[in-house]
Structure 1
Amino acid sequence: MEKTIEILIYVHIFFGGIGLAAGIGSVIAKKGSTLHKNMGKFFSVGMIASSLLSLPISRMPNHENLFLFLIGLFTIYMVLSGNRALKYRTKTKAEMIDRIISGSMFVFSFLMVALGSYHLGTDLYQGILYLVFGGFGLFFTIIDFRFYGNPGKTRSAYLVSHIRKMVGAFIASVTAFLVAGLGLVHLLFWILPSVIGTVYIVFWRRKVQGKTVAGRA
Structure 2
Amino acid sequence: MYLLFKSLIAVHILFGAVGLISFWIPVFSRKGSPAHRLWGRIFARCILVAGGIAILLSLCTLYAPMETHPHLEDPVFVRGIFGVLMFHLGVLTVNLAWYGREVLKNKANPAANRRGVTLYLQVLLGLTSVGCVIEGLAIGQPLIVGASVIGFATVATNLMHMLNPAPPPKAWLREHVKGIVGAGISVYTAFFAFGAVRIMPEIALHPGLWAIPLTVGLGLILYHYWKISQSGSQLGKLAAGE
TM-score interval, smaller chain: 0.7 to 0.9
Change (3 A) 1:147 1:180: same
Change (3 A) 1:35 1:162: same
Secondary structure of the residue aligned to 1:58 is: helix
Aligned counterparts of 1:40 and 1:18: Cα–Cα separation in 2:
12
Q: Structure 1 counterpart of 2:7, which letter? A: I
Q: Structure 1 counterpart of 2:21, which letter? A: A
1:100 paired residue number: 120
Question: Structure 2: where are the runs of 5+ without partners?
Answer: 69-78, 238-242
How big is the shift at 1:99?
A: 2.7
Q: Structure 2 counterpart of 1:34, which letter? A: P
Q: Structure 2 counterpart of 1:212, which letter? A: G
Aligned counterparts of 2:235 and 2:25: Cα–Cα separation in 1:
28
Aligned with 2:214 (options 181, 194, 198): 194
Secondary structure of the residue aligned to 1:208 is: helix
Aligned counterparts of 2:167 and 2:57: Cα–Cα separation in 1:
41
Deviations 1:140-189 (A, max 9, x none): 21112221232643111001001001111101222233233454523321
Task: After TM superposition, list the pairs within 5 Å mapping 1:1-217 onto structure 2.
Answer: 1-60=1-60, 61=64, 62=66, 63=68, 64=79, 65-93=83-111, 94-97=113-116, 98-116=118-136, 118-119=137-138, 123=140, 126-127=141-142, 129-150=143-164, 152-181=166-195, 183=199, 185=204, 186-217=206-237
Secondary structure of the residue aligned to 1:59 is: helix
Question: Structure 1: where are the runs of 5+ without partners?
Answer: none
How big is the shift at 1:114?
A: 4.0
Aligned counterparts of 1:44 and 1:100: Cα–Cα separation in 2:
19
Secondary structure of the residue aligned to 2:168 is: coil
Q: Structure 1 counterpart of 2:46, which letter? A: G
Deviates more, 1:81-90 or 1:92-101: 92-101
Deviates more, 1:103-112 or 1:52-61: 103-112
Note if contact 2:129-2:149 (Cα within 8 Å) is conserved in structure 1: yes
Report the aligned-residue RMSD: 2.1
Change (3 A) 1:152 1:214: farther
Deviations 1:35-55 (A, max 9, x none): 111111111121111111122
Aligned counterparts of 1:149 and 1:91: Cα–Cα separation in 2:
12
Q: Structure 2 counterpart of 1:209, which letter? A: S
Note if contact 1:88-1:152 (Cα within 8 Å) is conserved in structure 2: no
Aligned counterparts of 1:151 and 1:20: Cα–Cα separation in 2:
35
Q: Structure 2 counterpart of 1:113, which letter? A: V
Note if contact 2:87-2:128 (Cα within 8 Å) is conserved in structure 1: no
Q: Structure 1 counterpart of 2:28, which letter? A: I
Aligned counterparts of 2:230 and 2:154: Cα–Cα separation in 1:
22
How big is the shift at 1:191?
A: 2.3
Secondary structure of the residue aligned to 1:215 is: helix
TM-score by structure 2 length? 0.78
Q: Structure 1 counterpart of 2:222, which letter? A: V
Q: Structure 2 counterpart of 1:102, which letter? A: Q
TM-score by structure 1 length? 0.87
Note if contact 2:91-2:124 (Cα within 8 Å) is conserved in structure 1: no
Change (3 A) 1:215 1:52: same
Q: Structure 1 counterpart of 2:43, which letter? A: F
Aligned counterparts of 1:151 and 1:203: Cα–Cα separation in 2:
27
